[in-house]
Every structure is written in structure tokens, then in C-alpha cells.
Amino acid sequence: MTAIAALPFLPYLVLAVVAAYLLGSVPFAVLVSRLMRLQDPRSYGSGNPGATNVLRSGNKVAAALTLLGDAAKGWLAVWVALRWGQHPGGSVVPFVMLAVFLGHLYPVFLRFKGGKGVATALGVLLAVQPLLALATVATWLIVAVFLRISSLAALCAAVFAPLFYLFGAGVAWPGNAPIGVAIGLISLLLIYRHRANIERLLAGTEPRIGAGKKARAAGNAGHSKR
């Protein structure tokens, strides 16, 4: 680590960004599904390699492991950067935050077709400031519980996360402008990745939480009556 820290800032930054991007590119949805002998999540549902789509397989354990893995890689990259990413030439932390998130969105291991980034963004926020992550999760839960639409909950959390950071800076946690900018960019990218969901929300066709389960149950009931 000492030898790496002795590098000039630019090579140090490039090394940190590449490492964070590769970590973010690890496709836990696909890996967990293969290990548990489940169908590839890219082949059903939304085709999105993320925890929500894995849940559509009906395997809650696989979905939970995917969520944990995607969040953990975001947390780990930023946690390491916060402790060893300070260089005389500047901090690599904001760049690492963006790199690990972009790695999940556009993973090199899946031909740059990744997930939407909700869990990874949560992991990033958890490393930056646990209270910020808690406030963001609370926002997601409130919307999800009352409106029963996962994508809308994620979009609301994405909008409020940078606002929470801005208004909490100097009160609930120390403020840092580059980190605040990185959180804002992550939120914008997350919203962009949900553009198809936004179109369905506007059209009133976005499925609610539990709708798929009810549909399967109705289908099974119909078959049993035949």
C-alpha cells in the first residue's frame, strides 16, 4: 500500500478507478443464480441482472444474496477509498464512488449490460455516511409500503439522497462538496437507468409489489379447477 501511495496522483487515481470499476462489474445476480442452479436472470422478467429480477424467480434467498452482494461491493470500494484513498495530490473517493457504480451499470463481464444500481448505490451511501443510507432506505420503505411500487420507491430515494446529504452537511455529518457532487451524479444515473419504469409509471402500467405473485397464484388456481 505504501508503494502504491508513492505513485503520482494521476496513476494512483487511474489504478483506484479501474479497481473500483472491476469490483462493481462483478455480476452477483448471475453468479448467485448459477451457484443455486437457477435460470439466468437476464432471460426472464425485466432481463435486469439485479435483486428485484432475481426475486421474480421465486427464490427469496437468491434475491437476498444478490442484494447483499451488490450492496457489499459498493460499500467495500468506497470504504477502502475512504481509508487509503487520500493522496497528497487529492482524494480519489468521489471517483471511486462513481466508478464502482458505473461498473454495476455497465459491467465489462456482461458486455456492459448491467443492473439499475439501487443496491450498489445503497452500499456506496452506507460507506460514505451510515445515517445518510438509513434516511435513504427509510424513504424507499415509506414509498414502497404505501404505494407498493418498487421502481417509484427507488426513484424517490434517488431524488432525496443528494438532498439529504446537502441539508445534513455540517449538522448530521461533515460536508464534502466533491462527495456531494458524486452522490448527485449517482442519483441522476440511477434515474436514467429507470427511464423505462418512468414511462410505465406515466402510462399507469408499472406493476406493483406482489403483483407477479398474485398473478401466479391466480394462474395456479385456474389450472387446479380444470
Of all residues in the chain, the percent with pLDDT exceeding 90 is 80
**pLDDT of res. 87:** 79
Q: Does residue 198 lie in a domain region?
A: yes
Q: Please, are residues 74 and 123 in contact by the beta-carbon 8 Å criterion?
A: yes
Helix intervals (H) in 36-114: 51-55, 60-84, 93-105
Q: How far apart are CA 13 and CA 87, in angstroms?
A: 9
Q: Does residue 61 lie in a domain region?
A: yes
From the list 60, 70, 53, 94, the residue with the least C-alpha distance to 186 is 94
Range 55-64 average pLDDT:
93
Q: Please, are residues 119 and 67 in contact by the beta-carbon 8 Å criterion?
A: yes
| Boundaries of domain holding 113 | 2-211
Q: How far apart are CA 93 and CA 88, in angstroms?
A: 13
* Mean pLDDT of the chain, nearest integer: 91
Q: Does residue 80 lie in a domain region?
A: yes
Q: Does residue 87 lie in a domain region?
A: yes
pLDDT tens-digit profile of 118-149?
999 999 999 999 999 999 999 999 999 999 99
**pLDDT of res. 7:** 80
Q: Does residue 217 lie in a domain region?
A: no
pLDDT at 221 over 60: no
Q: Does residue 90 lie in a domain region?
A: yes
Name the DSSP letter for residue 8: -
Q: How many domains are there within the chain?
A: 1
Q: Kindly state the cell numbers that stand for 111.
A: 458486455
Q: Residue 207's CB: how many other CB atoms inside 10 A?
A: 15
pLDDT at 175 over 90: yes
From the list 27, 155, 181, 174, the residue with the least C-alpha distance to 97 is 181
**pLDDT of res. 215:** 47
Residue 203's beta-bridge partner residues?
none
Q: Does residue 81 lie in a domain region?
A: yes
Range 157-177 average pLDDT:
96
Which residues, at least 6 apart from 205, have a Cβ–Cβ distance to it below 8 Å? none
Angle at 216 between CA 215 and CA 222, to 5 degrees: 90
Q: Does residue 113 lie in a domain region?
A: yes
